[in-house]
Amino acid sequence: MNYSPPKADLLVVQGDLHVHLLGEVSIQQNGVDLTLSLSRKTRALLAFLLITGKSHRREHLCEMFCDNTADPRGALRWSLSRLRSVLDDAQTMRLVTSHDSVRIDSKTMDVDVSSVRATHDDPHASTAQLRHAATLLSQKPLAGLELPQAEDYQAWLMEECEELQGLRPGILERLVRAEGILDGEALKWLRLWCRLDPFAHDAPLALWQKLIALNRHDDAADVAMRYKDTMGPDAKAWIIPPMQERAQEPKSDQQSDNGCLHRQTIGFCKAADGVKIAYAKVGSGPVLVKTANWLNHLELDWQSPIWGKTFQQLATNHTLVRYDERGNGMSDWDVQDISMDAFLRDLEAVVDSQSLDRFPLLGMSQGCAVSIEYAVRHPERVSALILIGGYVSGWRIGLSAQEREQREAVLTLTRHGWGTPNPAYRQIFSQTFMPDADPEDLTWFNDFQRRTTSPENAVRFQEAFGHIDVRHLLSQVKVPTLVLHARGDQRIPLHQGRELATNIPNARLVTLESRSHIILGDEPAWRVCMDEINQFLQEHT
């Protein structure tokens, strides 16, 4: 489930001006977002004045924020004038200044940092208040307010961020035990706690204890293995008898020391136009073919924090066949044709090279459209379809003129910034693919994208995806079809998944409670997704 912050009437609201310092700085007045055109230094000054909550000498503020300018007092006056235009109105003067001092009167303001601290310190805080505080603390405190050249301020900022992050354990521990919190929500918050504080002792232990209480011993064992280095010698206390017995069992040739499936076999084949396509096989049992998506690299993503757990789960009871389509990964990058027809030829080449007869086909994102077209062209080969986060028409077809202009702007950014060390351009994709991922996963995905394809091909892929259109083929799909789509998908809206399920005969739609386009292995929605796929494959293979 997605848990939005409770409505204001469930919380203590101090005034009609709401300031958010957890995450990116934003201000709302009477429920309406105010446009902030403040410089980073001015936003940093706002945060400092609000959080310290006291009067400061102008001389001190000049030394802290404006010492590297030619006219420190003038620079401070300029920042204060910008703050006054945002904070003050005809009824209320919140920025209080004198010749010597500056402070912010926050009596008519609701500041999220103050709200979180009040909830943390209140032993009688309600479930709604705890949930709201946990939601706020899941964001990076004081994001984007770093001033590396302002050493005194930077030291204060680091200390403040550490103190705010230190509030998480107390809030989350109380929340998961609060009245009205169901098991699914409790697990969601516990997994989030582990992701936010991966080196903490209490977070994985609390998650492990909850899983044991729910008799989910396999999941608990996975947590114990994942965090054993964090726990050190204490991890021995986590090993429950079923896991000890499993540890004594001889490993199969397909298993490695960490319990994951062992090495995949990578090979190459040629598409009809001579392009070399890399493919991989792993696991045993009935064949499951996965079509390519944005972006793939057979070696990098097999053990990745993004897809590794998903691919390994899919290969547990099947022989998983996947491949890198042209233009990325281990396949040829220097190619003339990157298009829907070319993507289809790549899939045909892989299937033919393995002499596959009849098999289920799994697609993710634009791979769903490729899977649909292949199933219509080769109905004798496809036994079932699994479509995750798919869409029926590309952005040049289904979006408004304004949205198309935005996509065009992204193409320009990609063309000029994709291959640079600065991840900001690739972050455009990462953040929409995985809005709730932790910083480490986003950093990995940013670097992964850079290493997986060239700037030119990244643009060509986006262009090709814009022209995808399989609407006319949906009614021709004649195989059992499972459609899975995240309710809050930030990349491909849910209505696209509904369109697939509505127009493919006898398709079934499963809505996943997530905001992610790529469902991560530590989300509750991931387990639902895997269980649905396993059940579907048992019924149709």
pLDDT digits (tens, 9 = 90+) for 251-294: 333 444 333 444 688 999 999 999 999 999 999 899 999 999 98
* Tokens standing for residue 364: 């993710």
Which pLDDT score is estimated for 234?
47
Q: What are the φ/ψ torsions at residue 48 (nearest 5 degrees)?
A: -60, -45
**Range in 162-176, 224-238, 428-442 with the lowest mean pLDDT:** 224-238
Percent of the chain with pLDDT over 90: 50
The 3-state DSSP class for residue 523 equals: coil
CA neighbor of 518 nearest in space, from 301, 250, 271 = 301
The answer to whether residues 87 and 97 touch, using CB atoms and an 8 Å cutoff, is no
For 34, which DSSP code? P
pLDDT digits (tens, 9 = 90+) for 325-355: 999 999 999 999 999 999 999 999 999 999 9
User: Long-range contacts for 52-60 (Cβ within 8 Å, ≥24 apart)?
Assistant: 53/104, 53/106, 53/114, 54/103, 55/96, 55/101, 55/102, 55/103, 56/101, 56/102, 56/103, 57/100, 57/101, 58/99, 58/100, 58/101, 58/102, 59/100
pLDDT digits (tens, 9 = 90+) for 24-35: 898 988 878 887
Domains of the chain (ranges, CATH numbers) = 1-166 (1.10.10.10), 179-249 (1.25.40), 265-396+469-540 (3.40.50.1820)
* Tokens standing for residue 334: 């220097």
Nearest 5 degrees, angle CA 436-CA 192-CA 6? Answer: 75
Q: What is the mean pLDDT of residues 405-414?
A: 76
Q: What is the mean pLDDT of residues 217-221?
A: 81
3-state SS of 288-336?
A: EEECCCCCCCCCCCCCCCCCHHHHHHHCCCCEEEEEECCCCCCCCCCCC
pLDDT value at 244 more than 70 = no
pTM over 0.75: no
* Tokens standing for residue 336: 């003339």
pLDDT value at 118 more than 70 = yes
Higher pLDDT, 8 or 514: 514
Which pLDDT score is estimated for 250?
40
Q: What is the DSSP string of 493-514?
A: -HHHHHHHHHHSTT-EEEEES-
For 250, which DSSP code? P
* Tokens standing for residue 473: 């083929």
Which pLDDT score is estimated for 194?
82
